Amino acid sequence: MKTAYLALGSNVGDRDTNLAHARAHLAAQDMRVTRVSSVYETEPRDVTDQPWFLNQVVEVETELFPRQLLSRTQKIERLMGRQPTRPKGPRTIDIDILFYGQAIVDTPSLEIPHPRVADRRFVLEPLAELAPDLRHPATRRTVREMLAQVAHQKVRSTGFSL
């Protein structure tokens, strides 16, 4: 079994329910959700003319290989009604693979660790709740160290842990 960390994000429709449905789908798809962070509300980045996001990180255990895990997460996104729109635009659900054990994967369709994990407080804040001492396999920096570098970015906890 491998431990993977997945980032969930939603800014369309009932965002809380979307996160809950994504977690339920993950638990039914060859993996076990072992821990869940609090939920954070974050301002959109890059494409700012859209609703705010709810973000959360889940820890899963799985026997799926990285590409299989990507296929499952993309299937869940489609099942939940994610439509291809503009890049970084509004979405019912977004599921990103942040880490997969200590694996480093670099293919045209998949990069693990997520290539922008160190630049995103909305990912690092909830990830730090679950694994503050987890080390990035390439940079060797901990989640806690990466979070300190992006502390200036605005993120607010909703106070909810779903």
The pLDDT tens digits of the residues spanning 51-96 come to: 999 999 999 999 999 999 999 999 999 999 887 676 777 889 999 9
Cα gap 152→43, rounded to integer Å = 13
Query: What CATH number corresponds to the domain at position 100?
Result: 3.30.70.560
Does residue 113 fall inside a structural domain?
yes
Based on the structure, what is the number of domains in the chain?
Answer: 1
Q: Is residue 28 part of a domain?
A: yes
Helical segments of the chain, H only: 15-27, 66-79, 121-130, 143-149
Asked if the structure places residue 162 within a domain, the reply is no
pLDDT at 88: 75
- The set of catalytic residues is 82, 91, 94, 96
Beta bridge partners of 94: 9
- Note the maximum CA span of the chain: 41
Q: How confident is the model at residue 142 (pLDDT cuts 50, 70, 90)?
A: very high
| Average pLDDT score, the chain | 92
Nearest to 128, CA basis, from 149, 112, 108, 102? 149
Which pLDDT does position 159 carry in this prediction? 61
* Residue numbers of the domain that contains 70: 2-157
- Residue 133 domain-assigned (yes or no): yes
